[in-house]
Structure 1
Amino acid sequence: MKDVYQGLIRGKKRSKIAMAGIALAALVVANCGGSTSSSTDTEVAAVETPARELIVARDMDINSLDPARTYCDTCQIYMAAAYETLIGLDVNDPSIQIPRIATSWEGNADNTVFTFQLNPDAKFADGSAITSADVKWSWERLMNIKGSASYFLDGVTSVEAPDAATVVVTFSAANSAFLAIVSSTYMSIVNSKVATEEGSAIAAAGADTTDLAEQWFFTHSAGSGPYTLESYTEGDSLVLVRNESYWGTPAVFPKVTIKQVKDASAQLQLLQNGDADIAMQLSFDSTSQLDGNASVVATPQDSYNYVYIALSPGAKGAENLKDPKVREAIKLAIDYDGMIDITVAGNGKKQASPIPNGFTGSADLALPAQDIEKAKALMAEAGKEAGFSIDAIFPNANVYGVDFNVMMQKAQQDLKAINIELVLQPVEWAKWSETIKATGIPVTAVYFAPDHTDSSQYVQYFGMIEGSSWATRAGGGAAGKPIANAKEQELLAKALAAGADTKSGLYSQLGQELINDLVIFPMVNPQLLLAYASDIEGMHYSACCNLELGKLTLKK
């Protein structure tokens, strides 16, 4: 039935077939800045409902659809569609925070207590009101599940709900990043009653071992966003349908299907033929094939995303990486300019540290550069001039237009100059995740997109500090011991307590410490190629959400 439907209204020519115009939605116009905000008047607008499914082609990297466990780029898109946060970001200016479920918010003078007032009109997809109890439950569950995004709430001593419309969060130490963190899709609010009664979800301490709701979330959503989950088929598709009871501006498209399409050329073909409206991971060297095609728009845009190579000296089989001289030699052997050329046809930038270009603390750090002679000298000093072979296990993926196979083949070629042989082993995401959690991986390739707009996330995720994902991975996963850099822990605490006048300098110091760890080597900060049907409006890149499907419309 689905194939017949698509064939009738899609075919090779896009059509603007529409149902009778129906007045559906209230457009909330809101704008705010600083530490507090208030909602604005609601303006009603008539919206035509097109009889058209939105098709998105991308290589999906979904690890989970459970809001407390999900952590991936496709997950951000899903969470922004099916769930909502207390605070959002202006799609045109990510420095501006806007109301979502909360109408106002403020932090105390020392950034240890944050208070939120909820919108009394906010409702879940089942029509029930969103209350402070749902916020408390959602955030406590995120903390207690101890998933990849749980570090967002590190340092929280309490989440209180003094009345149905008020939430108070208290930290043990200053956390000036918290309002930025609240805009992350991973901080979305779940309908606690539905998730508890239907999904048997648990938020209490010990949920990391007692909660069994993850499978339920693969077939159900329990949020308040403009879409709800219809189905997810691993390796095939993620299907969303419009939330007809949405309390905000209704989504234009009645249905969205994100199709699993790994290969960039296959995504391009679907877009050219009119069988996809959006292709999310096209390669830049394919854009010439779109010349003269008036039905498709392809727009390059700077991003905060990047792909990187990581070394884990504590991983099984990584004994040769324990000497930092060897890790520095590997860093110096990479041809970064050539890497950008071969992966994104020159449409990208070098990046100094895990803090990406454009974020606080990135501006004053030296960019990486190839130096083969110095790399050889370091290998000799480490007694490794004869070289060695080492496993490079990485996801078989195309991310931001970068084919990981191509990137790792380039690294393999470069490292031969210092007698290191990378044994390339592309694997599926599930196998990669299982391996790196258990024993670490000597050499791997991964990617990162911002979860919010504060630089603290990069230290918390990549730093050699307590609770960091990469401190554990670099130390050999569950079988090893996390690596520690006490200076990073100290500097991060200062940065989270600092005012605007000193924060930048502290994050620059943190960026240099991350460089000195010799664990994370950013390869490419690529431009994004926003490729989509020319009748789509509102196409964008979001610093918090990747792509907000609910904001997409059709040209009239």
Structure 2
Amino acid sequence: MQISRLGRTVGLAAAVGALGVAGCGGSASTDSPAATGSTGGTAKAAGAPSGTLVVDQSFVDKGIDPGHEFTPTNNMLVKAMYDTLVTFEPGKTDPVPSLAESWKGTKDAKSFTFTLRDGAKFSDGTPVTSADVVFSLNRLVNLQSSGAFLLDGVTVTAPDDKTVVVKSKTSNPALLRILATPPTSILNSKVLKAHGGTDAKDANKADKAEAYLQTASAGSGPYVLGAAQQNQQYTLNANPKYWGEAKGYPKVVVRNMAAPTQLLNVQRGSNEIALDLSAQQAGTLKSNGALQVTTDASVNIFDVEANMDSGVSPTGDAAVRKAIRLALDYDGYAKLSGAGAVQAPGVIPSQFLGALPQSDAVKQDLDAAKQALGGKSGIKVKLSYPSDATPNGVSFASVAQKVKSDLGKIGIDVSLDGRPAVTFLKNYAAGKNQMSVSYWGPDYPDPNDYLVYAPGAPGTSRANDNKYTKADAPDLAALGEKAGRTLDDAERGSLFQELQRGFNKDSPYFPLFQPAQAIVGSKNLTNVVLDPTYTLNIPAVGGN
């Protein structure tokens, strides 16, 4: 799960769409109870819209079983039908109450105790209990599917019907944000068991509920599944037994549409949202008074990555890495994506806790780049990239061609090696690529997700793929470990900034840009916001 978002969610063949804009990273309480949220509500709030909301997206659809899914499309759908212990408001990254009305964490961030709210019910009317939470989270882990890594080293127990204790083997200040992600959704354990579901250790072989969950929902969220045609269309209907305050449309249709079709549909329809238009396509609609158009920077990052092994690549030489860093035309890369794209000052996107300010961004300096080479000549490097992927509408080939041009200005001869994503990722994971154009999108909106960049990061990660070991940068390795276990968000953010400044001095990573992303919706809609975790928070979309 830690190679790259390209490999995790693209299915090794097609690119993931933009994930959206996050709010500022912040701090959820780790040593005092959280604020208590609403403990009940009506099936439909006063002033809730009527009619049907239509959402067009280019699907990456692995199905809507929370235990198996982990794509932007399925995150959006699962969020609408299921609740998690905590959640995020549209476009934000601070945990707020959901099924848990409060929580308390230990000072070492190894244990969190959640108190479930009264009145929460599943769509069949049965109460949500701690047993359902334990079942759902254990099932996620034991299915060993896409999202299981989120709870690595985590155990879940229930002292009573209203209390859940989540423990981590190691300090994990990111755990609260992880528990707001759709794979950690809470399912009706009785319904799942009746349809072949299990949370046993052998769930990866014994669980038979995935097929059922593609035809019916078993959650407590604002919507229930009406109809499902995988990779084509999903219909969601308002849950009449929803425990909270339903503010969204009574019916939602989510359709798989290519971007050109989305461009036409959003102009012709009403109560319509298009999620996959390029910045250029969205720009053509800004004068349309019937539409709202938002174009800004994605939380995804394009970068160049070098191999630290001198036996594999000339980029094992620190002087060559310094020259490359200074030779890249960072402003030019952002322009490849269009209005709204920005240079990436570090590996953490600008919307998250720990991001570097633009004042820390590396600037092109060709004279300094040539000086860094110290007269070395005849340097040749092969630049690999996935030739069949265009995340956020940006072609890897166009980025690679520009890298070749930039480095050619300082005498580095770059040969381009475009391959199908499946081949590119195989070589990438094996550490065979000399240099790569790559891409990263967040698994969850917390800086700990970016510790895979740290020297010697454990598991299958960018650190190992690029042969970046603790011996290469022991101080940065120690800094990454400290940042990952620090509890206070202000201190943690500062540590992650310090870590990235170290990367910008010398590392195998060359962050390029956060591509532009766009969301277009009918003018009357509210909360039309691309979301870093849910793609689009469907239950929050209202109308007037």
TM-score range relative to shorter protein: 0.7 to 0.9
Q: Is the 8 A contact 1:343 1:406 kept in 2?
A: no
> 1:408-447: per-residue Cα shift (whole Å, max 9, x none)?
44445445542112233455xxx47974797577334334
How far 1:114 sits from its partner (Å)? Answer: 1.1
1:108 is aligned, of 102, 106, 109, to 106
- Counterpart in 2 of 1:544? 533
Q: Which amino acid aligns with 1:343?
A: S
**Higher relative contact order (CA closer than 8 Å, sequence separation 6+):** 2
1:357 pairs with 2:350: yes
Determine the C-alpha separation between the residues in 2 that align with 1:241 and 1:384.
65
- Tell me whether 1:445 sits opposite 2:433 in the alignment: no
CA distance in 2, matches of 1:552, 1:272: 18
Contact preservation (8 Å) 2:249, 2:542? yes
> In structure 1, how many angstroms separate the alpha carbons of the residues matched to 2:55 and 2:272?
6
2:243 match = 247
Give the letter for the 2:76 counterpart.
I
C-alpha contact (below 8 Å) 1:228/1:243 kept by paired residues: yes
Q: How far is 1:87 from its partner? A: 1.1
Q: Does the 8 A contact of 1:462 with 1:520 survive in 2?
A: no
CA distance in 2, matches of 1:144, 1:488: 34
Query: 221-230 or 370-379: which moved more?
Result: 370-379
| 1:268 alignment partner in structure 2 | 263
Q: CA deviation at 1:159?
A: 1.4
- Shift of the alpha carbon at 1:151? 4.0
Aligned length: 505
1:225 pairs, out of 208, 221, 234, with 221
Per mean C-alpha deviation after superposition, the further-off stretch among 384-393 and 179-188 is: 384-393
Q: Structure 1 residue 525: deviation in Å? A: 2.1
Measured at CA, do residues 358 and 51 of structure 1 come closer, stay the same or move farther in structure 2, by a change above 3 Å? closer
- Unaligned regions of 5+ residues in structure 2, if any? 1-26
How far is the alpha carbon of 1:215 from its aligned partner? Answer: 5.3
1:160 to partner: Cα distance: 0.9
* Partner of residue 28, structure 1: none
Amino acid at match of 1:194: V
Distance 2:349 2:437 in 1: 19
Provide closer, same or farther for how the CA distance between residues 340 and 501 of structure 1 changes in structure 2, counting only shifts above 3 A: closer
Q: How does 1:44-443 map to 2 (within 5 A)?
A: 44=42, 45-47=45-47, 50-52=50-52, 54-63=53-62, 65-91=64-90, 94-95=93-94, 97-156=95-154, 158-198=155-195, 200-205=196-201, 207-208=203-204, 217-230=213-226, 233=229, 235-250=231-246, 252-263=248-259, 265-274=260-269, 277-301=272-296, 305-309=299-303, 311=305, 313=307, 319-320=312-313, 323=316, 325=318, 329-345=323-339, 347-363=340-356, 366-372=360-366, 385-393=378-386, 396-399=389-392, 402-404=394-396, 406-417=398-409, 418-425=412-419, 427=421, 431=422, 435=426, 439=430, 442=433, 443=436
User: Is the CA contact 1:71–1:186 (under 8 Å) kept in the aligned structure 2?
Assistant: yes
CA contact (8 A) 1:68 1:149 kept: yes
The CA distance in 2 between the partners of 1:484 and 1:225, in whole Å, is: 48
Q: Post-superposition shift, 1:551?
A: 0.9
Q: Give the structure-2-normalised TM-score.
A: 0.79
- Contact 2:286 2:292 (8 Å CA) reproduced: no
Q: 1:122 to 1:411 in 2, by over 3 A?
A: farther
Give the superposition deviation at 1:332.
4.2
- Cross-structure match for 2:521: 532
Q: Distance in 2 between matches of 1:486 and 1:134?
A: 44
Write the distance in 1 (CA, Å) between the matches of 2:431 and 2:210.
24
Single out whichever of 200-209 and 542-551 deviates more from structure 2.
200-209
Aligned partner of 2:479 in structure 1 is 491
- Which residue is 1:14 aligned to? none
Q: Residue deviations 1:35-82, cap 9 Å, x none?
A: 422234656533566342x22222333455342343333333223112
Q: CA deviation at 1:167?
A: 0.3
Q: 1:62–1:75: 8 Å Cα contact kept in structure 2?
A: yes
Task: Name the CA distance, whole Å, in 2 between partners of 1:268 and 1:471.
Answer: 40
CA shift, 1:355, in A, is: 1.6
CA 1:271–1:68: 2 relative to 1, 3 Å: same
Q: Which amino acid in structure 1 is aligned with residue 415 of structure 2?
A: E
CA contact (8 A) 1:123 1:246 kept: yes
**Matched residue of 1:319: which SS?**
coil
Give the match for residue 13 of structure 1.
none
Matching of residues 497-512 of structure 1 within 5 Å: 497-500=486-489, 502-512=491-501
Paired letter, 1:524: F
Q: Deviations over 1:276-302 (max 9, x none)?
A: 811123233334522442211113355
- The amino acid that maps onto 2:449 is Q
CA distance in 2, matches of 1:484, 1:72: 34
In 2, Cα distance between the equivalents of 1:81 and 1:433?
Answer: 35
C-alpha deviation, 1:121, in angstroms: 1.6
- Give the conservation status (yes or no) of the 8 Å contact 1:393–1:441: no
The one-letter code of the counterpart of 1:86 is: L
What secondary structure, in the 3-state scheme, does the structure 2 residue paired with 1:90 have?
A: coil
Distance in structure 2 (CA, Å) of the matches to 1:155 and 1:486: 25
What percent identity do the matched residue pairs reach? 28
Give the secondary structure class of the aligned counterpart of 2:158: strand
Deviations 1:253-288 (A, max 9, x none): 34333333343x443222223288111232333345
Letter of the 1:299 partner, please give it.
T
SS in 2 for 1:507: helix
Residue 336 of structure 1: CA displacement?
1.4
The one of 450, 454, 457 aligned to 2:449? 457
- Distance, in Å, in 2 between the alignment partners of 1:202 and 1:483 is 44
Contact 1:296 1:532 in 2 (8 A): yes
The superposition leaves residues 132-176 of structure 1 with CA deviations (integer Å, 9 ceiling, x where unpaired) of: 1221222223333444544433443x3111111110122334333
Contact persistence 1:537–1:553 (CA under 8 A):
yes
Counterpart amino acid of 1:223? G
Conserved 8 A contact 2:39-2:117: no
> 1:56·1:256 contact (CA, 8 Å) conserved in 2?
yes
Closer, same or farther in 2 for the Cα pair 1:351/1:292, shift >3 Å?
Answer: closer
